[in-house]
Every structure is written in C-alpha cells, then in structure tokens.
Amino acid sequence: MKYTTKHDRVWNFSAGPANLPLSVLEKVQSDLLNYGGSGMSVMEMSHRCKSFDAILENAESRLRKILNISDDYAVLFLQGGASMQFAMAPMNLYREGHPMEAIHTGYWTQKAIQEMKTIGEVKVVASADAEQGFRKLPEVNESMFNPDASFVHICSNNTIAGTQWQSFPKVGKAPLVADMSSDILSRRLNIEEFGLIYAGAQKNIGPAGMAIVIIRKDLAEQANKSLPTYFQYASHIEGGSRFHTPPTFAIYVAGLVFDWIDELGGLEAMEKLNQEKANLLYGALEESSLFYSTVEKTDRSLMNVVFRAEGNNEALEAKLISEATAAGLTDLKGHRSVGGLRASIYNAMPIEGVQALVEFLREFEKKNH
C-alpha cells in the first residue's frame, strides 16, 4: 500500500524544513513566472518595488492580526535563522551586572545557552534531566527567577526531545525570551507575556533562510548601541525589515501561510486541529504494544511526536523507517543526536496524513509481533 497524495506527494513528517500547506504551494506555482501582473517572479523583483511593498505589508499585518500583536512590539523578518537569534538576543538584551537566566530543556536550549555565555554571565535556573533524555520539563515558579536578570530564555517546544510548555513559566519582572521555532502559530498565544519571541521559518512559517522576531520596542531601544549596526534589532526596526535585502521569497511564502491560517479560522482553529492530530497519534502509541511515546504525558508536544520501539529495538525502528518511506510516509527518523523515531506534525500536516501514519503503524505492528 502506498499513501501518496495529490501531485504524487508523500506524507512528509520532517522536523524541518517541513511540509507546507498544499494550497500555498499551488499558489506559489501559479504566481511563479509572473507575480500579479508584474511580469516577473517574486525572486526577481526589487525589495523596494511596489509589488514587494505590498507583499511585506501583507505578511506583517496578517501576522499581527493572527497573533494579536500590539504596536508596543516590532515584527521583523530577518536572515540567519534561529541560530543567529541565539546570539543576537543576548547581544541586544544583556545588561552588564544583570546575569541572563535560562531554563535548560534540551539540545536547542544548550545551543542558546552556549551563545549567551559568549556574551555575558548566565545562570541556568532549572534544567530537565539530560540522562532521562529531557523527557520531562522541570518544575519552576516565579520565586526562582531574579527580577533584575537581563532576561530569561526558554524554548517553547523542544523539537528533539518532544516536550512543549503547556503554559509558560511565570518569571516575574525580567523579560521572557522564547525560541518558538517549532511551535509558533500552532496555538493561541498571549504576546504580552514575552519580551522577545523568535522562530526559524522552516517549520510552521515557510521556506528556510529566515527568522521571525517579535520584540518589545522598548527592549530594542535600550540595547547596546556599540554593537555592529547589523546586529542591533533597532537597525532592522528602523529599516522596516529592509535594513538590507531581506529574504524576499521567504517573506512572500510566509505571507501566504499567514493568509491560510487566517482563512482557516486563526490560531483557535489551528490549535484545535493540532490537538486532534496529536491525540490521534499519541492515542495510537498508548494502545500499541510495539511502540511507546518517550515523553511524560503532561509535557507532550503537539508538534513533534517522539517515540521508540519497545526495548529500544533499533533494528525494528530501522525496518519501520524503511517500510514507511516505501509506503510514502517519510522522515520518521529521530534526530541524529538521539535516534529513535519522530513524527513532526506541524500546522501544514493534514489530519489525513496522521490517519495514514496511524493505519501504517497498526499494520506494521500486526506483521511484526
């Protein structure tokens, strides 16, 4: 049995770059050679022409609408991905004598903390258990955080461990900085809880090569003015994301993705759909006697479902990956740092894709028990 879909596309469970909504890809295809009568592709047009003015304006205003972002915050579309933000956030927000704080929950917070340490003093306030594979988020409360800290860094969804903060830690007065690369736009969000949010685009937003930054304007204004201008958020705010040539094509596709989310009913509808998909897959794993979710129930991610074969049987996992790929269900291999299995079911994965995976897992189990 092969589970391919329209245009002979597979169900792609990649953690990122990940699948995009089919209707968005079809629109990109129809616009590709001659965008809106401009006579050229978006890839070929000046980032300062009228057509691109409208593309950028639509992307920003749709994102502001979906996330209900007030004028106190700037929205930026930047090159460099989330990894550049690991450095850019502390460069801008660190204040001498006010150590930065972090909650360590896995591979990506480790990377962020490493970069923070190149800029200044860092205190890791709480940490998930690395020996347990970061399978559970640490318990934290407001009294653990220093109100004078430069900021507190968290990762909202841990793409590799498969954990996700169901509600965000209350950290008191210090600005909360969140890496939302793998769950931005997947659920309702109160922007006012955060000083800074950033996300690499290649999971829930659009093509790789871009990061979205949502930053409280007063924080950007307070930043160290002796930084190279490129690395100051203020430069990009002043330039309206056009301090230099922005990732134009990625912004255009992101705008179409934001339109798609808005038309589906916004984040409330998205969250409901994501709950349904995750319940279906975790439910199937609960019932299975061959596979199990590695993550503590209360902390399970709606985006990255991390699982293993019983007894962590690697040969069986490899067999599953290979047979699933042949059946049109691709990219189920866990991150190279941890192995095992992972199904990433971001916004663009329709419920039909998850149903196909569940059916495949049940069949596989019958044949391999």
Ligand X SMILES: Cc1ncc(COP(=O)(O)O)c(C=O)c1O
* Residues labelled catalytic: 108, 179, 203
Task: Looking at residues 30 to 89 of the shown chain, list those that interact with ligand X (rule: CB under 6 A).
Answer: 81-83
Q: How many residues bind ligand X (CB under 6 A)?
A: 11
DSSP state of 206: S
Out of 182, 204, 232, 301, the only residue in the binding site for ligand X (CB under 6 A) is: 182
- Distance, CA of 37 to CA of 29 (rounded, Å): 14
Least separation, in Å, of the C-beta of 26 and ligand X?
Answer: 26
Buried b (16+ CB within 10 A) or exposed e, 129-167: eeeebbbbbbebeeebbbeebbbbbbbbbbbbbbbbbee
DSSP letter string, 122-165: EEEEEE--GGGTT-SPPP--GGGS-TTSS-EEEESEETTTTEE-
Least separation, in Å, of the C-beta of 102 and ligand X?
Answer: 13
Task: Name the residue nearer to ligand X (CB basis): 200 or 340.
Answer: 200
Out of 60, 101, 115, 179, the only residue in the binding site for ligand X (CB under 6 A) is: 179
Task: Looking at residues 90 to 119 of the shown chain, list those that interact with ligand X (rule: CB under 6 A).
Answer: 108
- Using rule CB under 6 A, residue 195 touches ligand X: no
Task: Looking at residues 269 to 298 of the shown chain, list those that interact with ligand X (rule: CB under 6 A).
Answer: none
Sole residue written with tokens 């929205």: 75
Q: Which residues contact 317 (CB under 8 A, 6 or more apart)?
A: 308, 309, 339, 340, 341
Out of 12, 159, 163, 186, the only residue in the binding site for ligand X (CB under 6 A) is: 159
Out of 55, 74, 155, 219, the only residue in the binding site for ligand X (CB under 6 A) is: 155
Out of 133, 162, 200, 328, the only residue in the binding site for ligand X (CB under 6 A) is: 200
Task: Name the residue nearer to ligand X (CB basis): 138 or 172.
Answer: 138
Residues that bind ligand X (CB under 6 A): 16, 81-83, 108, 155, 159, 179, 181-182, 200
